[in-house]
Amino acid sequence: MLPHRAVYDPEHRDLRDTVRRFAQAEIAPHFSRWESAGLVDRDYWTRGGAAGLLCPQVPEAYGGAGGDFRFNAVVIEELWYAGYAGPGADFSVHSDVCCGYLLSFGTEAQKRTWLPRMVSGRTVCAIAMTEPGTGSDLQGVRTRAVRDGDHYVVDGQKTFISNGQHCDLVIAVVRTGGEGSAGMSLLLIETDRPGFRRGRNLDKLGHLSADTSEMFFDGVRVPVANLLGEEGRAMAHLMGELPQERLTIALQSIAAAQKAFDLTCVYAHGRKTFGKAVAEYQNTRYKLADLKADLAVGWAFIDQCLARHVAGQLSSQDASTAKLWCSEMQGRVVDQCVQLHGGYGFMREYEICRLYADARVQRIYGGTSEIMRELIARSL
């Protein structure tokens, strides 16, 4: 990771050391088993809470540390640089996405009920947007919530839901009205309600330890008090929070790309072919120089965006640019790093192979690269 970044203060550097110790003590000994099992242990979440790594931006009044998003960014960077990619092992969906919705749109009762539990890890949160027939175009959401007295009755299906096997609370995008964005709302749905059912833990190319699931809602009765924000305003609420989600993905991508680059530099200096280290060949040096330049540009823009976000000034266009650049750059970096490893780069026992597989989805979730380009183009 880059030293002496002006965007951070000494207290953020102290947290960075804490996260590194946590990764070595609480993740490294178990990670291979989690990858094979397809999910982390449930008590990993409470251990993360005890270490102060969950939802550090939550105010002290709700059990949090009262930090700004830079604290979240440190946790993201360190866990992804450590190589433990995926929402199951890095807390991002829970801390950096779901928590933001409760802080921004939750009622006082909702905040007092859920935020302390999310900070401690007693409650794991997921957000359910995607459906089998609806990806980036959220206006196609079909999961319906029909008002029945002081309850909504929810019927529908979601897929590709991170934290799907472990979650206790789901922020669900549902249709409470007619077609289009004006008919969509957000509901807090507890997973122990009758009619809620988890589907299978999906078999993925990468992020193997991150549980990613289908969800089914069959006549789930949810109190009207569980409405998050205003009825019919889901799209506006989503648009307000998506910049932070996209900055989160950009942070993940650049930290993982830096890890791949650093691993490859070590490998290239140690691996010998035709009597000399791979790093001694001009082609290798020039390739590594290009990757270093890409990373330097990415970190500079990431730090600009992080500072703007903390100041409440991060635009949708800048967040989309960060997500597009960093995820696409990650793809270029890990691909070249695998190439420089030769045949060993294709073996899963080598970390670079896993980093390659884990990188691919970064250009898809949180809005595809194509959607990012469309959003950026609208501002031209």
pLDDT band at 179 (very low <50, low <70, confident <90, very high): confident
pLDDT, residue 327, reads 98
Q: What is the pLDDT of residues 250-275, one digit of tens each?
A: 999 999 999 999 999 999 999 999 99
Measured CA to CA, the distance from residue 138 to residue 99 in angstroms comes to: 20
Average pLDDT, integer, range 35-53: 95
**What whole-number percentage of the chain has pLDDT above 70?**
98
- DSSP state for residue 246 in the 8-state scheme: H
Is the CA virtual torsion 38, 371, 376, 93 positive or negative?
Answer: negative
**Catalytic entry in 26, 230, 245, 328:** 245
pLDDT band at 176 (very low <50, low <70, confident <90, very high): very high
Amino acid identity, position 198? R
Q: At residue 87, does pLDDT exceed 70? A: no
Architecture per CATH, domain 235-377, reads as Up-down Bundle (1.20)
Map residue 136 onto helix, strand or coil. Answer: coil
- Residue ranges per domain, the chain? 10-123, 126-232, 235-377
Q: What is the pLDDT of residues 280-317, one digit of tens each?
A: 999 999 999 999 999 999 999 999 999 999 999 999 99
- Clarify whether 328 is annotated catalytic: no
CATH ID of 126-232, from 2.40.110.10, 3.90.1200.10, 2.60.40.1930, 3.50.4.10: 2.40.110.10
pLDDT, residue 89, reads 74
Q: Which residues pair with 178 in a beta bridge?
A: none
**Which top CATH class is 10-123?**
mainly alpha
Measured CA to CA, the distance from residue 105 to residue 231 in angstroms comes to: 11
Q: At residue 97, does pLDDT exceed 90? A: yes
Domain 10-123 identical in fold to domain 126-232: no
pLDDT, residue 1, reads 62
Q: Work out the mean pLDDT of the chain and round it to a whole number.
A: 94
